[in-house]
Structure 1
Amino acid sequence: MLDQRSPGDLTIEDVRTAHERIKPYIHRTPVLTSSFLNELTGAELFFKCENFQKAGAFKVRGASNSVFGLTDEVAKLGVATHSSGNHALSLSYAAGRRGIPCHVVMPRTAPQAKKDAVRGYGGIITECEPSTTSREEVFAKVQAETGAEFVHPYNDLRVITGQATCSLEMMEQTDGLDAVIAPIGGGGMISGTCLTLSNIAPDVDIYAAEPEQADDAYRSFKAGHIIADDAPETVADGLKVPLKDNTWHFVSHNVTDILTASEDEIIDAMKLTWARMKIVIEASCAVPLATILKNREVFAGRRVGVIITGGNVDLDKLPWIK
């Protein structure tokens, strides 16, 4: 059982097993390029577009691996989680496909579009205050009442192994990369990326991108231990949560560096992607491009995989509309 192992025990075979398990429930998302953005950055960028994923986000990979890996005995009580949005709606999607209940604790400030999507997939929402403390307290009550299986948004080896399938596909879809960059909040996607690349492409540099206003992973990385913020404020609503022990294992062992971007830089990169690539991405997914533009010297002349993690945007509250 994955949830009873340590992160260092995971193998590329675990990732391949997860990929076979979830194939019927996910899209093999495309890799897109932009000659304009290549010229602007001086790098060759390959965008893995998880905004086109089922449920609109990469998190459906980890959620599906968790839900469809459960025994029938455990699954009958359903699953439960706490999430600001994309994991919530992804777990609701996967649970709906298996025909089991999904209980979700969400901050009352979570985007309405994400709440609507959770309910649309059959998820049952309990709201909490927008802090890690409130989220965990309310969740403990919900889990005690339901007996549902906890699927943590990122500090769960079943989830991390599912997320690792994204970079597995990307390496198959591109003819060799020098570096990969993805957003970091709790670290599920970055951990999955580390798991895959450390096994099949250990020479590829792995960068994490984070908002300056929610830079606890950056500070943790520099300090050598987890530093957790309780309720940071940033336009990148998917990146407000802190690292945990399982994700810290991968970040501390495999990440090359963590780069940060300001709120204005994130919004500008989001607008630039919409305008030039004609694709809808959420603010959290614009952080990697923002940091590439800010650190051109790091990426110039290199082939860089950029993981676009989702496209669940509240169109009535776009960050550039005052």
Structure 2
Amino acid sequence: MTAPTLQDILEAALRIAPLAHRTPVLTSRGLDELCSAQVFFKCENFQRTGSFKIRGASNAILALSDEEARRGVVTHSSGNHASAVACAARHRGIHATIVVPNNTPKAKQETAAGFGGEIHLCEPTLAARSAAVEVIRQRTGATMVHPYDNEFVIAGQGTAALELMEDFPDLDAIAAPISGGGLLSGTSIVAKALKPGLEVFGAEPERVDDACRSFRSGKLEPLLSTDTIADGLRGALCERTLGIFQANVTDVLTVSEAQIIEAMKLIWRYAKIVVEPSGAVPFAMLMAHRGRFAGRRVGLILTGGNLDLDKLPWQT
């Protein structure tokens, strides 16, 4: 299992340029004061399909050979990767089959279907997702575009941090949320290649803390629960992403469900943008660990903005 290099990520940036947006970086004096740091929000909630996932999906799909592309692609996803794969497949003119847990928000299911993805629902476990994908792969010959255990996907995700560091090269730290670890892996590779002294942090809900436990133990720890409001962070690490973390990541910190909701509210109140719970996790981490980041320049990747506006978590 190989890890992409900075050169792979630079090549990914060129490959995906026709499909992925270069997203803006926002700042807020009010949020800076609240967390005692200077924060730079990389707004992937403004990205095509509403999340950073189009970066990795489009890099993987555009890199397929013509023969592989003719057989189509298949993946499993709790939402954002599903939409990204469907969008990238439509751009290339190939078929995409998406296995989606049946507890995925309707808005995310409908977005993926709207891009032309053929949706198959399954039970909300990693085993069920993997089994369903394998049945489809065996029947169709489709290429599996894994949400994170794929070097082309990781390289594509790393382009968000590449853009952020091109715009703000004097950051002291950079942080991203963790599900399977593809985004943080790509982020950490860019960070350590461009600025070796830059600290890299992973942020994770404490209810789904397999990455935190794995990072500390040095071996893959089981995902014991998927019970979190951050529905995009219900994946589990793989050997590839854990290895990249151990080489490049400074620390993995966890936050509570209440802290995630409060971070969403603060971003909406001060920055006037809506982010999904998964995207708010890095800012929740910053607020929960103010002392560790006080006085520093911190880049945060706001990973997406796909959520049901009729069911915001602070509404009763």
Q: Is the TM-score greater than 0.5?
A: yes
Q: Which runs of 5+ in 2 are unaligned?
A: none
**Alignment partner of 1:235 out of 207, 219, 229:** 229
Equivalent positions of 1:172-211 (< 5 A) are 172-211=166-205
SS in 1 for 2:166: helix
CA contact (8 A) 1:131 1:231 kept: no
CA contact (8 A) 1:130 1:231 kept: no
**Partner of residue 158, structure 2:** 164
- Matches of 1:67 and 1:139, distance apart in 2: 17
**Partner of residue 30, structure 1:** 24
Note if 1:261 corresponds to 2:233: no
> Residue 254 of structure 1 aligns to which amino acid in structure 2?
N
TM-score (norm 2): 0.98
Q: Which runs of 5+ in 1 are unaligned?
A: none
CA contact (8 A) 1:132 1:231 kept: no
**Partner of residue 83, structure 2:** 89
TM-score (norm 1): 0.96
SS in 2 for 1:281: coil
**Partner of residue 219, structure 2:** 225
> Residue 6 of structure 1 aligns to which amino acid in structure 2?
T
> Residue 284 of structure 1 aligns to which amino acid in structure 2?
S
**Partner of residue 321, structure 1:** 315
Deviation at 1:291, TM superposition (A): 1.1
Note if 1:152 corresponds to 2:115: no
Note if 1:6 corresponds to 2:2: yes
SS in 2 for 1:25: coil
Deviation at 1:230, TM superposition (A): 5.3
SS in 1 for 2:97: strand
Q: Deviations over 1:208-266 (max 9, x none)?
A: 00001111101111111111215420000011111001111111111101111100110
**Partner of residue 271, structure 1:** 265
Q: What number of residue pairs does the alignment pair up? A: 316
Hey, which bits of structure 1, 4+ residues long, moved more than 6 A? none
Percent sequence identity is 50
- Matches of 2:144 and 2:169, distance apart in 1: 38
Deviation at 1:319, TM superposition (A): 1.4
